[in-house]
Amino acid sequence: MKEHFLVIKDKIKQPWILTVILVAVIPICPEYVAPVLASCSLIAAHFDACARGTGFQIGNLGKLILIYIAYMALGVLYSTNILSTLATLGMWIVMFMAYMALTTVLQCRKRLDTTFLIVTLVAGTVGLIGCVQYMLRVSLGLKISTEFWSFIDEPVFDLLNIKIKGFENGYRVSSTFNNPNIFAEFMVMALPFAAYYSIYGKRKKAHLLCRFCLMAAAGGIAFSYSRGSYTGLLAVALVFGIANIKDIFLIVLTIISGLLLVPQSVMDRLFSVTHPDSSISERIRIWISSTALIKDNPLFGIGAGVNNTWALLLKNGINAPHMHSLAIQLLIEGGIIAFAIFIVIGWNIVHYGISISTSRNSSRFIGIVIIAFILGFIMCGAVDFPLMTPKLVGAFLAVLAFCDSAAVIFLDRRTSSLNDVLALKWKTKSVQGENVLCSHTKIYK
């Protein structure tokens, strides 16, 4: 037991493992800790890059994000709320460090597999916290906060003069996030990787633990009572079902068994979409008013930052911080240009997923995971804004890093060094990870 602990301790000291852990635990920590963890992950990645004689690496998706960040910076010139735009710009720049740290270290199949295991464990932890909150609040009737970090968040947000729009608690839980919808949006992003590793992960001894993590993650989404995330979860399940069509009977039986364990209140929440309530009515009012707002600034938008959209909606008598739609939010903040950038990002993700899933090797199901992620993300984004906070942006950029790294490993794509990207030399050939990383058994075992 002691020897096993020493082995784990020795592995954690490795820069690449530390990089992955620092990024992976971002969802567990409070929002204001996320930028610190992202910055520290880049420092850890620097030591790993120095050991291999390479620099920071950026893939195709990262280059598109840099274009979006640069375009966002131009919005400062015409933003209706410059401070909000600067804050949003700063959030993306800092959280991009997490992306760059991951693409720098994840150029080997073994590393990517380990990363998916760690992400699965984190998703299970966050989901379990949400499930425990629900049981304590509903089953035991305890008056506890729906937000795990509320005892720290409240004084910090007051000190920073940050306004957070409240919500009606009811049975809904937020786990380590500040809002049930935000919590569920993260879980939908992480769940495909938990589903993958619980079945196809290389460490078969961890499959049982990962399946418990998968159940906890799905339970967390259920107890968030986020209908948009319910549709995202169904989309993810649909992709995995089609990909495993030979085992469809077992899959259907598993889903039916899972549904029998779901509380009736969760099922009622899912089917309540057919009976418009205040939440649905508010979204409809927002989407109707957004038409005129988009026409006013169709090309460039009004500048990034939810305070910009919040102010516009307040003028229309709607107290909501964002447009409850990723597409509309992008069009309002950055116009057609920002929307087009994300269309290209989405297309590249789909292309990666299809290319990997149709390859003739053991990587097929990683491609399925990528497709499941983007479809679930789109479904959530149809009725919410899953890029609102540092932790959500960090999770999104982390998945982009997984996609770029998978393209390097399984499609023989190349990343570019940071210096070459900044110098606009984007076609520079990087060191191929599979041949170099796996040969350093002392460092990368």
What pLDDT, in 10s, does the model give residues 411-429?
888 888 877 777 776 554 4
- Residues ≥6 apart with Cβ < 8 Å to 210: 117, 120, 121, 124, 194, 197, 198, 201
The residue-averaged pLDDT of 82-95 equals 94
Q: What are phi and psi of 427, to 5 degrees?
A: -100, 10
**Helices within 384-432 (DSSP H only):** 390-410, 418-422
Q: Range with the lowest mean pLDDT among 266-275, 302-311, 416-425?
A: 266-275
**How many Cβ atoms are within 10 Å of 50's Cβ, its own excluded?**
11
The residue-averaged pLDDT of 273-292 equals 76
The residue-averaged pLDDT of 203-216 equals 89
Residue 409 one-letter amino acid: I
- Residues ≥6 apart with Cβ < 8 Å to 79: 85, 302, 303, 304, 305, 308
- Both tokens of 270, joined, read 């899912």
The pLDDT score that the predictor gives to residue 442 is 39
Helix/strand/coil for 175: strand
Comparing 159 with 76, the larger pLDDT belongs to 76
pTM of the entire structure? 0.89
- Both tokens of 65, joined, read 């994000």
Residue 291 one-letter amino acid: T
The pLDDT score that the predictor gives to residue 5 is 45
The pLDDT score that the predictor gives to residue 271 is 54
Mean pLDDT estimate for the chain: 84
**How many Cβ atoms are within 10 Å of 303's Cβ, its own excluded?**
28
Place of tokens 């307040």: 314
pLDDT higher than 50, residue 26: yes
- Residues ≥6 apart with Cβ < 8 Å to 350: 371, 374
- Burial, 244: exposed, middle or buried (Cβ in 10 Å; 0-12, 13-18, 19+)? middle
| Dihedral sign computed on CA atoms, order 283, 286, 291, 294 | negative
The answer to whether residues 383 and 283 touch, using CB atoms and an 8 Å cutoff, is yes
pLDDT higher than 70, residue 3: no
The residue-averaged pLDDT of 369-373 equals 95
pLDDT higher than 90, residue 256: no
The pLDDT score that the predictor gives to residue 189 is 96
Helix/strand/coil for 417: strand
Q: Range with the lowest mean pLDDT among 14-28, 101-115, 242-256?
A: 242-256
Residue 318 one-letter amino acid: I
The answer to whether residues 147 and 178 touch, using CB atoms and an 8 Å cutoff, is yes
Dist CA 418 CA 375 (whole Å) = 30
pLDDT higher than 50, residue 310: yes
Dist CA 242 CA 1 (whole Å) = 42
Comparing 300 with 169, the larger pLDDT belongs to 300
Helix/strand/coil for 359: coil
Nearest-CA neighbor of 127 among 30, 232, 29, 216? 216
DSSP 143: -
| Dihedral sign computed on CA atoms, order 263, 187, 217, 174 | negative
Percent of the chain at pLDDT above 70?
81
Residue 226 pLDDT level (bands cut at 50, 70, 90): confident
The residue-averaged pLDDT of 349-373 equals 88
Dist CA 266 CA 268 (whole Å) = 5
The answer to whether residues 322 and 310 touch, using CB atoms and an 8 Å cutoff, is yes
Residue 341 pLDDT level (bands cut at 50, 70, 90): very high
Place of tokens 């009004």: 302
DSSP 299: T
Quick: pLDDT tens for 43-79.
999 999 998 888 899 999 999 999 999 999 999 998 8
Residues for the chain: how many in total? Answer: 445
- Both tokens of 130, joined, read 């949400």
- The beta strand positions in 16-175, using DSSP E, are 57-58
- Residues ≥6 apart with Cβ < 8 Å to 215: none
The pLDDT score that the predictor gives to residue 6 is 42
The pLDDT score that the predictor gives to residue 4 is 46
Residue 367 pLDDT level (bands cut at 50, 70, 90): very high
pLDDT higher than 50, residue 435: no
Domain parsing of the chain, residue ranges: 2-48+58-444
